[in-house]
Amino acid sequence: MALETGDPAPDFALPGAGGETIRLADLKGHKVVLYFYPKDDTSGCTLEAQGFNALLDAFTAANAKVIGVSPDSVKSHDKFRAKYGLTFPLASDEAKAMLEAYGVWVEKSMYGRKYMGVERTTMLLDREGRIGRIWPKVKVPGHADEVLQAARDLA
């Protein structure tokens, strides 16, 4: 069943870059931008991460926490963060349980070959942990700006 606006966000606790554990329960009282991306250090994912990182002060001013989530390992996240100077948390879901709970681990197709992967998606959660907005099949250019405006507008 796909998540919809107004649904409670599925709980999670995932290992993050730098040895931290990222828990939804610890984020109550803040708006949360969960952006799901396929793979560290690929062109689209790097541009998306850089877009959110460049606007991090503005997200903080809007009382919003930004968290990137992919199935890459914590070690991969650590290298990705260091290489591009990313200062927000990256969560690792190698087991894909959280990605499945959020409905972003899907069958994809490239050149006629079907495989499972992350559908680039962003979800904005309100202060109570409910889904305020969903951006499916994200196109990277301008996306971080659009999410920031939505975070500012979300009560």
Beta bridge partners of 124: 33, 133
Q: What pLDDT digit, counting tens, does each position of 128-139 carry?
A: 999 999 999 999
Summarised one tens digit per residue, pLDDT across range 41-84 is 999 999 999 999 999 999 999 999 999 999 999 999 999 999 99
Quote the pLDDT of residue 4.
Answer: 94
Contact between 16 and 7 (Cβ < 8 Å): no
pLDDT in tens, 92-125: 999 999 999 999 999 998 899 999 999 999 999 9
Residue 1 above 80 pLDDT?
Answer: no
Q: Please state whether beta strands 31-36 and 113-118 pair in parallel, antiparallel, or not at all (unpaired).
A: unpaired
Q: Residues with catalytic annotation?
A: 45
pLDDT for position 2? 82
Cite the beta strand spans of 16-136 per DSSP E.
21-23, 31-36, 64-70, 90-92, 105-110, 113-118, 121-125, 131-135
18 vs 21 pLDDT, higher one: 21
Sign of CA dihedral 91, 93, 97, 99: positive
First-to-final CA distance of the chain: 26
For residue 155, pLDDT beyond 90: no
pLDDT attached to residue 40: 96
* Of the listed ranges 11-20, 93-102, 115-124, 141-150, the one predicted with least confidence: 11-20
Q: What is the mean pLDDT of residues 10-20?
A: 91
